[in-house]
Structure 1
Amino acid sequence: MPRRDFVKLTTLSAASIPILGFTNPVKAAVQSEDKLSINIFSKHLQFLDYNETGAMAKEMGFDGVDLTVRPGGHVIPEQVKQDLPAAINAIRQAGSKCNMITTSIESVDNPLDVDILNSASQMGIKFYRTNWFKYTTDENMKASLLKYQEEIKKLGDLNKKLELVGCYQNHAGTHVGASFWEVKKLLETVDPDYFGTQYDIRHAMVEGGYSWENGLKLLHPNIKVIVLKDYKWGRVNGKWEAINVPIGEGMVDFDGYFKLLKSYKLNPPVSLHLEYDLGGAEKGNTEISVDKKVVFDAMKKDLKTLQNLWNNA
């Protein structure tokens, strides 16, 4: 048998053998190119309880929920041991899924952060996003990056024990990780199977201008989860600002971005964010000033637009 055929045959045979125990969530996250696996960011549904959040996610056609587990979120850290299991069970009983959470986690030395990770592991969560690190005036940027790099490494070590994958989000502004090189530096020493980046194309294009493709080229091996949202530049009170808009109505080059993701053979889980005006739902308010249907319709529209953009890329 030719060597090429032998390798192909043995690879297929190995793939058919059931794998016992933990399946690496990084590899398990690979999807077919036919469809994006899109989760709704629960920040925008915090006017609903856990069961309603799961029910609406399913009804609107989302693959799951990216649950906020942080101060002001659906689940607050101080009550995570009780409330996270209740939330996950309610979402699943309503017919949806919850494989990712967005957190305020920063350090294994914080007992509340460890409680969140332990609870997430027990409930079968695969991915979590950390808090954003901040630069301080008492140390230079290089020293800060090295300090936070060590925090990431320790989180990755704990993730391995708990069978979790942590993610650091690139974010426009002055926090750590606005530039692609900062994110790459943070991830230098951590086990890449258990910690990577939650890549946000909106923030990447705001910060990267024409160079965002270089940033994607740099970080694509580290991408575990992606965030999708749109923006355009405009004047607000006389100042230029990045204004959030519905998917497809702004400056994000989704066609170019999706083509590049496909060329890198990437189709990671998606967290859909709606940061434009939705009566307070965009801010995570528990009470909103518009009819719920306005929010749900916006979510369904963005979801449909994204799937069409992906299919056409």
Structure 2
Amino acid sequence: MAANYSRRSFIQKTALVTGALSLLQPDRLQSQPTQELAIPKMHLFSKHLQFLNYTDLAEKAAELGFDGVDLTVRPNGHVRPERVETDLPKAVEALKKVGFSPSLMTTAVEDAANPVDHRVLETAAQLGIRHYRMNWYWYPADRSLPESLRQYQQKVKGLSELNQKLNLTGGYQNHSGSLVGASAWEVWEMLKTADPETMGVQYDIRHATVEGGLSWQNGLRLLQSHIKTLVFQDFAWENRAGKWVVKNVPIGEGMSDYKNYFQLLKQYKIQVSASFHSEHTPGGDGATKLPLSDQKVAFESLKKELKRVKELWQQA
């Protein structure tokens, strides 16, 4: 009986082990669904609809299929800094009426010690806005670049400390050209002493490609843990009278490698809001007046381009 029991016990245990091992087979593992990273919330940069008032801006952005508006709160923007306490509440109320949750703005803020900058951030925080893009810095001719970076590093640190008090998060946009932060390493250097929870980068693939060419992936890898918001836009080089210049084009038709870029965003699990830029459309340069015929073209272009971005995200 002992022999029969041992054999029977062995068979039962073997069956259990075999069943457990079958669950670990590659085909079983591959059949498990993987969680797809959701496309970033798309906020229309209000500069491109500068010709619309707050109500029309909000209604049109919702109609076109955007998730919100990246509101310009800066000189010549939808909200002027000197009128922020009066006008920003009106803009926020208009956005809320169409179901948007105001959370993103583009500013000229650059110094926590500046009373106007402080008032802009304080007002925005009280209204529920949580993310802002700050102003760009310039390299003075009478100071070395490293010295300038050290000084701007302190300004960014000061803003991060103010952000902490106000429950805000700031972002410095990497921008092509001679501005501070055209290269990813400059932005990385400026952020060194800032609170990483309240200050980071608004990463722009278009400008990164203009400056980085084939090395933009290194810059993204360097800054990926500091990314607080994104900018989506595209460009192509164009020869005008023998001089190569940057031309704004629809996303997916230019030189920014959006398929690879979106794959990397998914790989790094970067889940933040995006500001949708489209400067090639009529009014995209911030025009305050635009004929109705041009407005129609702009709206159709924005809707088409937004659809294309969603397709590119799914394909990546």
TM-score by length of 1: 0.88
Structure 1 equivalent of residue 200 of structure 2: 196
2:154 maps to a residue whose letter is E
Aligned equivalents of 1:112 and 1:71: distance in 2?
12
Give a deviation string over 1:28-73, Cα, whole Å, max 9, x none. Answer: xxx9613331000000011111011111111111000000000000
Aligned equivalents of 2:214 and 2:248: distance in 1?
19
Structure 2 equivalent of residue 236 of structure 1: 240
Shift, 1:288, TM fit:
1.8
Q: Do structure 1's residue 245 and structure 2's residue 249 form an aligned pair?
A: yes
Give a deviation string over 1:144-163, Cα, whole Å, max 9, x none. Answer: 00000000000000000000
Shift, 1:98, TM fit:
2.0
Give a deviation string over 1:256-307, Cα, whole Å, max 9, x none. Answer: 000011110112101000111x33x111111024431111111111111111
1:119 corresponds to which of 107, 118, 123? 123
Aligned equivalents of 2:38 and 2:148: distance in 1?
41
Aligned equivalents of 1:300 and 1:99: distance in 2?
22
2:296 corresponds to which of 272, 290, 293? 293
Aligned equivalents of 2:117 and 2:38: distance in 1?
36
1:203 maps to a residue whose letter is H
192-201 or 50-59, larger mean C-alpha shift: 50-59
Mapping of 1:19-38 within 5 angstroms? 33-38=37-42
Aligned equivalents of 2:52 and 2:206: distance in 1?
26
Assess if the C-alpha contact under 8 Å between 2:38 and 2:271 holds in 1: no
Q: Aligned Cα RMSD in Å?
A: 1.2
Structure 2 equivalent of residue 304 of structure 1: 307
Assess if the C-alpha contact under 8 Å between 1:36 and 1:310 holds in 2: no
Structure 2 segments unaligned to the other structure (5+ residues): 1-34
The size of the alignment, in residue pairs, is 281
Give a deviation string over 1:124-175, Cα, whole Å, max 9, x none. Answer: 0010001100000111001100000000000000000000000000000001
SS in structure 2 at match of 1:291 = helix
Structure 1 equivalent of residue 90 of structure 2: 86
Structure 2 equivalent of residue 48 of structure 1: 52
2:109 corresponds to which of 105, 111, 116? 105
Structure 2 equivalent of residue 179 of structure 1: 183
Question: How many percent identity over aligned positions?
Answer: 49
SS in structure 1 at match of 2:218 = helix
Assess if the C-alpha contact under 8 Å between 1:108 and 1:155 holds in 2: yes
TM-score by length of 2: 0.87
Give a deviation string over 1:155-210, Cα, whole Å, max 9, x none. Answer: 00000000000000000000100011000000000010000000000000000001
1:283 corresponds to which of 285, 288, 302? 285
Label 1:121 to 1:32 Cα distance change in 2 as closer, same or farther (>3 A): farther
220-229 or 237-246, larger mean C-alpha shift: 237-246
2:306 maps to a residue whose letter is L
Aligned equivalents of 1:98 and 1:32: distance in 2?
26
Aligned equivalents of 2:211 and 2:192: distance in 1?
22
Structure 2 equivalent of residue 139 of structure 1: 143
Aligned equivalents of 1:34 and 1:158: distance in 2?
31
Shift, 1:94, TM fit:
2.8
Shift, 1:312, TM fit:
1.1
Q: Do structure 1's residue 217 and structure 2's residue 221 form an aligned pair?
A: yes
Aligned equivalents of 2:75 and 2:101: distance in 1?
22
1:100 maps to a residue whose letter is L
Assess if the C-alpha contact under 8 Å between 1:233 and 1:243 holds in 2: yes
Which of the two has higher C-alpha Rg? Answer: 2
2:313 maps to a residue whose letter is W
Aligned equivalents of 1:162 and 1:40: distance in 2?
25
